[in-house]
Amino acid sequence: MKKTSLVFLFVYLCTNFNLSAQTAVSINLNAANAKTVISKDIYGQFSEHLGRCIYDGFWVDPAMNVPKKDRIRLDIVDALKKINIPNLRWPGGCFADEYHWRDGIGPREQRPKMVNTNWGGVVEDNSFGTHEFLELCSLLGAEPYIAGNVGSGTVEEMAKWVEYLNFDGVSPMANLRKQNGREKPWKVSFWGVGNESWGCGGNMTPEYYADLYKRYATYARNYPGSPLKKIASGANSWDLNWTEVLMKNIPARDMWGISLHYYTLPTGNWGKKGSATVFAEQEYFNTMKNGLAMDSLVKKHSAIMDKYDPGKKVGLLVDEWGVWTDVEPGTNPGFLYQQNSMRDALIAGSTLNIFNNHSDRVRLASLAQTVNVLQALILTEKEKILLTPTYHVFDLYKVHMGAKLIPLDFISPDYVLGDQKIPAVNASASVDSNGVVHITLVNLDPKKKISINTALNGLKWSGVTGRIVTSPKFNDFNSFANPNKIVAASFKGAKKTGNQLKVELPALSVVELELK
């Protein structure tokens, strides 16, 4: 497909009410305004020393009969490479602010053991540390994002970690790195100055943290060829005051980004979050409603950032997000192991559409978490692994990474339950460097198919292909007994008729279309 200066896309979405009534919706899609690049880093991942994410996830017993490099599990690496994960955030999370990096370098048999007081009170042997993490990132082809210890650490400790990672010369930390087997620096760019400093990272006020950030960031040096992208520990969900104080008190030139954490709770109640797989439609509806709140959340924090940074130099980084349910019965409550259903896939697709549509400000995001924790991409059971429905959504959406956002405008039909309603459809679109247009669509309605009739004026295209993630029930999931119940499949519900694109979007579906 050749690039075109202006494309108007009129989409009519018709929902069938009692086989007669229809709702028509028009979408205006203007390719001439496709100027904002969707950062590949929106598709990042988060892996904390928590439960079985690192130990018994990425990092396994030497005796386990799986493909390995050292103790890094390569079937997991291969699966993540397939979806092109761009970055990996580590070591936390809450764990970051009790982690002292020097405990995780040098001969493994000499590394001190520690208690993970945040997550299950288990003893860790520190066999997975800085060198092992950066080797994992190298195998993945992913950029490392390191969260530094502000809560229980020191300025000197963080400064020396940066030196150890990034200085190519003669210095105490560079020499120590070489003694530990790494001659050249890794040149790590993404650097978080603490984590959740309003909570487990120190229970600080925003004013205190802003001053502390400036102190820590001052000594996190930009060594030659290794400029840092320094990231401030931002707000907990709707705490707009935290963002206001940080943006007011920290000069935009001194931070590359400010983080935001938001988890979708099915019940909205931290005490009883709800099951990952056993729930009725009302709880499904509530989960979708809570997940879609991400759009309003990003808008509100972005509006505050716009006051102090109208040039949008500082990124909003949603570096912890996802569905958080009660743990699976019989598992350690501190390990946060949960199953992953079609509901999670719909939240993933909807959230990524939101991030894409706000890519002028959202520059990085991290799904929590990659393996065996919360809304994971991959679950393991000894030698077995399975890919979750969320994994397959990321596989569909990777086409947007680094492409230019095509702005779209439409009013969705409603998904109605009792006297409540939410938008049934959300979408995002992009055009890649070859001029190929991709559209991702999510239908949250569990019962109604949505018919799409699209007029593509001024756009030359020869055909459409697509892929879909769907399942008959919103609480369907992949199990180790049936690991392929929900997978990405070829989508045959889109066709070209003249210059019209006709799509039948099934209920409970995430669809990716390619026009070229």
Q: Structural domain of residue 412, as residue ranges?
A: 8-37+406-515
Residue tagged active-site, from 98, 143, 196, 512: 196
Contacts of 97 (CB under 8 A, 6+ apart): 149, 150, 151, 152, 153, 194, 195, 196, 200, 201, 202
Last residue of a domain, one of 367, 402, 437: 402
91 in a structural domain: no
Residues 385 and 509 in one domain: no
Residues 357 and 292 in one domain: yes
| Model confidence pLDDT, tens digit, residues 172-228 | 999 999 999 999 999 999 999 999 999 999 999 999 999 999 999 999 999 999 999
Query: How far is the C-alpha of 164 from the C-alpha of 159, rounded, in Å?
Result: 9
| Model confidence pLDDT, tens digit, residues 422-453 | 999 999 999 999 999 999 999 999 999 998 77
Least confident of 98-107, 118-127, 419-428, 492-501: 492-501
By DSSP bridging, strand 44-46 and strand 28-29 are unpaired
What is the pLDDT at residue 25? 54
Can 283 be counted among the known catalytic residues?
Answer: no
* Number of independent structural domains in the chain: 2
What is the pLDDT at residue 411? 82
Residues 379 and 450 in one domain: no
| Model confidence pLDDT, tens digit, residues 20-74 | 233 445 666 777 788 999 999 999 999 999 999 999 999 999 999 999 999 999 9
| Model confidence pLDDT, tens digit, residues 301-335 | 999 999 999 999 999 999 999 999 999 999 999 99
Q: How many other β-carbons are positioned within 10 Å of the β-carbon of residue 328?
A: 16
Specify the CATH number for the domain of residue 456: 2.60.40.1180
Residues 335 and 384 in one domain: yes
Residue tagged active-site, from 48, 143, 320, 514: 320
What is the pLDDT at residue 21? 34
109 in a structural domain: no
What is the pLDDT at residue 182? 97
Residues 394 and 418 in one domain: no
Specify the CATH number for the domain of residue 368: 3.20.20.80
Residues 299 and 355 in one domain: yes
| Model confidence pLDDT, tens digit, residues 408-417 | 888 899 999 9
Rounded mean pLDDT of the chain? Answer: 93
pLDDT band at residue 456 using 50, 70 and 90 as cut-offs: low
Last residue of a domain, one of 378, 402, 426: 402
Last residue of a domain, one of 351, 372, 402: 402
Query: How far is the C-alpha of 13 from the C-alpha of 415, rounded, in Å?
Result: 13
Query: How far is the C-alpha of 313 from the C-alpha of 363, rounded, in Å?
Result: 10
Q: How many other β-carbons are positioned within 10 Å of the β-carbon of residue 358?
A: 21
Query: How far is the C-alpha of 456 from the C-alpha of 258, rounded, in Å?
Result: 39
Question: Average pLDDT for residues 358-385, to the nearest whole number?
Answer: 98
| Model confidence pLDDT, tens digit, residues 254-285 | 999 999 999 999 999 999 999 999 999 999 99
Give the Å distances, CA to CA, from 124 to 46, 54, 285, 317: 19, 11, 40, 29
Q: How many other β-carbons are positioned within 10 Å of the β-carbon of residue 213?
A: 26
What is the pLDDT at residue 502? 84
What is the pLDDT at residue 458? 57
Can 156 be counted among the known catalytic residues?
Answer: no
Question: Average pLDDT for residues 467-473, to the nearest whole number?
Answer: 98
Strand partners, 431: 404, 437
Give the pair of three-digit tokens for residue 44: 């990042």
Residues 350 and 470 in one domain: no
Let me know: does 247 contact 307? Beta carbons within 8 Å: yes
